Chains A and B, each alone.
Chain A
Amino acid sequence: MAVTKVVMPKLSEQMEAGKVIKWLKKEGDRVQSGDILAEVETDKADVEMEAFGSGVLRKILVSAGDKAPVGALIGVIAEEGDDINAVVAQAGGGAPSAAASSAGAKPAMADRPAAVPPQPKSEDHAERTPSPSKGPESPGIRRAQETVAQQPAVTEMAPRPQAPAAADGGRVKASPLARKIAAQSGVDLKLVHGSGPGGRIVRRDVEAAAAAPAAAAPAAAAAPSAAAPSPALRPVTPTVTGPEYEDVALSTMRAAIAKRMPLSKAPVPHFYVTSEVAMDRAWELREELNGLEGQPKISVNDLVIRTCALTLLHHPGVNASFQGESIRVFHRVHMGIAVALEEGLITPVLRDAHAKTLAQIAVEARDLAERARQRKLRTQELSGATFSISNLGMFDVRDFSAIINPPEGAILAVGSVRKVPVVTDEGLGVGRRMAMTISCDHRVMDGAMGARFLQDVKRLLEEPLRLLV
């Protein structure tokens, strides 16, 4: 009989480790192929893990609440009489999982070289990750599955991610064919938008997701402090008793942010340029547009997106990426828009922003933000940005600076539109002002380039009618 290794599945391009939220089967339980074994938290979603082999869940190596790197053994399924000692022992040495605590970064996550933007495939990684194309989860043709099952050796079976609890609590609806293609092409169904009846994911959806450009930038890594809103300040009462502090385990998304931000800040030499824009006319224009019947509501951020997209076309040097031996200059603008979530942030990408009208941008940006909050973004919507915008205006922030999201070359941090006293020709008046700070990768551009770009952004925002033509 085959011994089935249950390993931490790779559920997204960026995923390096996952946390077992809870086991739905306990040691000694009989499981059938297809049963849901456990729930796993990744940096993007909570996903149910399906058993691929049948037998008895003989051993659980990573208990609920603990984390394990992708590919690490977390359980063993075998028949009653099968000897699983060898399998467990083999895993015991390498996998930190059994002893993993929930306290934070694991060795496997810490030993990455800090020099390059995190590319999802390093060698050790590829080796450990059960490759979907060769794994038994893929073959549609039973013949191939049989070959695998007949091997006397231990079969390595990553539980295939299936029917993960969606944000709304429902299961992922997908056709059998869509599931097979997804398994074979490594598409995470959780992130695929279903276009079939009732939102069912069908073949064309998975094929579209699989054909999307390979992830260029890790999605979870985005603007820095643009994270979650700080909760209302609680008065510190000296009468509090009990422990002086507690350690809160990192959510996987928080862990990803914690790990990736230094990977940007350290190797990417940031410099910052700040400017202030008179937003009076833009404000009036926006009010006027929003007074029109049947038009989508335009936000200040939509104006900034459109402005930056148009300006970037004239400043290709800012719409660029450091590639080691060369600088890649983009001719299209794919705008990353940082969206704060309860547990972190995510940067969906508004594609071809330069070619879109304000109304299109407003509708798309709102849709992306909405789906980001519901964690319903498609994989291809999380990668490929050429420039990003992080806006903390809604938190009454005057100005701030953001960390570049590699491999992008720059990010614009946008503060609130504030009413301030201004000096005019007639004397003192009231004006609306907004501060913007661009963070630039010095390997790609110099201070003057960033400053000239910012100057043009400012000009355009101060003559906002140009945004309409």
Chain B
Amino acid sequence: MAKYDLVVVGTGPGGYVCAIRAAQLGLTVAAVEDDRAGGVCLNWGCIPTKALLRNAEVVHLFEKAETFGIAVQGMKVDYAAAVQRSRGVADRMAKGVEFLFRKNKITLVPGTGTLKSKNVVEVRGTDGLTTLEAGRAVILATGSEPRSLPGVAIDEKTVISSNGAVRNEARPKSIVVIGAGAVGVEFADVYRSYGVEVTLLEALPRIVPIEDEEVSTQLTRSLSRRGITIKTGVKVSAVKPMGASVVIETDGGRFEAEQVLMAVGRGARTKGIGLETIGVTLERGFVKVSPTMETSVKGVYAIGDMAGAPLLAHKAMAEGVVAAEAVAGKNPRPIDYGNVPSCTYCRPQVASIGLTEAKAKEGGREVAVGKFPFTASGKAVAMAETEGFVKVVADKKTGEILGAHIIGAEATEMIHEFAVGRTLEATVDEIMHTIHAHPTLSEAALEATMAALGHAIHI
């Protein structure tokens, strides 16, 4: 039986970051992985989809080349090549994680890990069983997997999940995307850019429903303009594969397409890893954890998607650091779950942090709202990327930055100004007194802040 200070089960963004941080702190670490290192994020989620979305963006730029006085003739787009490029990107990133493991002397143990007791993990690999003993702690980081609707089986051919969408080199002629959260909207964008007929269905009254309402409205407009059919407030009652096509029955009509993408959310992977054996407590399908990520069983930690919302890679990474430091006897600062940025990489991009205007008002705050459209930004106009806006929600009395909502080009890069500000408890005054370089898209953040104060300059 091999013995390590720490055994990490799962090497997604939570697990691999945790393993590296623990190794930095001098612990010996074994990391168990049943797929490629890097987990869903690097191999099947965040990273490969960003590669596909970049392809979509390049296609879009070629299509509007005329705007820039560039004539393109005989343009051909190859979707299979896009998927292959995306696989190459994922492969390179997974290799990167493997390199980091070697550099930090972390032992990567291929196979499926199962807890035999609170400090023994049995790994079933291609060449038999390995048993790992954890001297200090076991970290569970097994992530999540796509969910479906009741009675709808995912075959990854006609009824696909993001797992199929990211692998399939053949694009359908038409697709119905069920669920207009980040995953649904991003794939809708990719497929539409490659000429697929896309219908986006959402049960809630608006797309990207967790975002600020104005963002949803703007995104609906942008996607509709690009030819995506959007139906909100519709409940799917049945998904029926019919040979070469699939029929979706809803309370808002019947839809037919070559494929259907189920993007209705993800569920924690908590089965088959021995949680029942050692009596780890679950709560609404997720593992219940303390602020230092310890489960109900002392010495067993859980991080990332399996430990609850939000199901985001960067939240998993942050939890990985907290867990590693807690195990190493440091006193990690607990995570501020109210300050996790949320990003959707469709075109235009969507990024947000903190409270929406509606939520802030629900909380009984008197709010000051400032909005600045990219149509008034010199840089955005020069780039011909004028869709969208920055919206700042502040507390009227104290100037606290309650929330920031950006839709537009590079929104996901711009949100961190507000993230840092909120971490430091800066107020709108501090943002306003920070000189922003001109011309940049980030000036819109400054202007939106000034708008909240009642005196934006450029609008």
Binding site for A on B (CB under 8 A): 333, 368, 394-400, 424-430, 432, 452-455
Contact = CB atoms under 8 A, between A and B. Distances in A.
A197 B397 CA distance: 25
Given A143-B453, A146-B454, A197-B333, 10 more contacts: A140-B394, A140-B429, A141-B397, A142-B399, A142-B453, A177-B399, A177-B426, A180-B427, A181-B398, A184-B398
Contact of B425 (A138, A143, A203): A203
A175 interface: yes
A140 B396 CA distance: 7
B429 to A, nearest CB: 7
Contacts of B397: 138-141, 184
10 contacts: A140-B397, A140-B399, A141-B396, A141-B428, A142-B399, A142-B454, A146-B454, A146-B455, A175-B424, A177-B426
Closest 6 interchain pairs by CB?
A: A140-B399, A175-B425, A142-B453, A177-B425, A140-B398, A143-B454
A142 B427 CA distance: 11
Interface string A116-157: 000000000000000000000011111100100000000000
A202 interface: yes
A321 to B, nearest CB: 35
A272 to B, nearest CB: 50
Given A180-B399, A184-B397, A140 B427 contact: yes
Given A180-B398, A184-B397, A141 B425 contact: no
Contacts of B399: 139-142, 177, 180
Contacts of A175: 424-426
Most chain B CB within 10 A, of A142, A146, A180, A181, is at A142
Contacts of A184: 397-398
A189 to B, nearest CB: 13
Contact of A141 (B333, B394, B426): B394
B234 to A, nearest CB: 41
Interface string A4-15: 000000000000
Contact of A176 (B368, B396, B425): B425
A142 B425 contact: no
A368 interface: no
A138 B429 CA distance: 12
Interface residues of A, number: 17
A178 B425 contact: yes
Contacts of A139: 397, 399
A199 to B, nearest CB: 14
B355 to A, nearest CB: 15
Contacts, number: 62
Given A140-B397, A140-B400, A141-B399, A176 B454 contact: no
Interface in A181-204: 181, 184, 197, 202-203
Contacts of B452: 141
B453 A176 contact: no
Nearest to A143: B454
Given A142-B453, A142-B454, A177 B428 contact: no
A178 B430 CA distance: 13
Interface in A343-367: none
Contacts of A140: 394-400, 427-429
Contacts of B453: 141-143
B333 A176 contact: no
A19 B198 CA distance: 75
A176 B425 CA distance: 6
Contacts of A197: 333
* Most B C-beta atoms less than 10 A away, residue of A141, A175, A181: A141
A178 B426 CA distance: 9
Contact of B455 (A142, A177, A180, A203): A142
A134 to B, nearest CB: 12
A425 B427 CA distance: 76
A197 B424 CA distance: 10
A177 B427 contact: yes
Nearest to B333: A197
Interface in A161-185: 175-178, 180-181, 184
A321 B297 CA distance: 50
A178 B399 CA distance: 11
A146 B429 CA distance: 13
Nearest to A202: B425
Nearest to B401: A177
A175 to B, nearest CB: 3
A46 to B, nearest CB: 26
A176 B432 contact: no
- Determine which residue in B333, B394, B424, B427 has the highest number of CB atoms from chain A within 10 A of its CB, and name it: B427
B426 A176 contact: yes
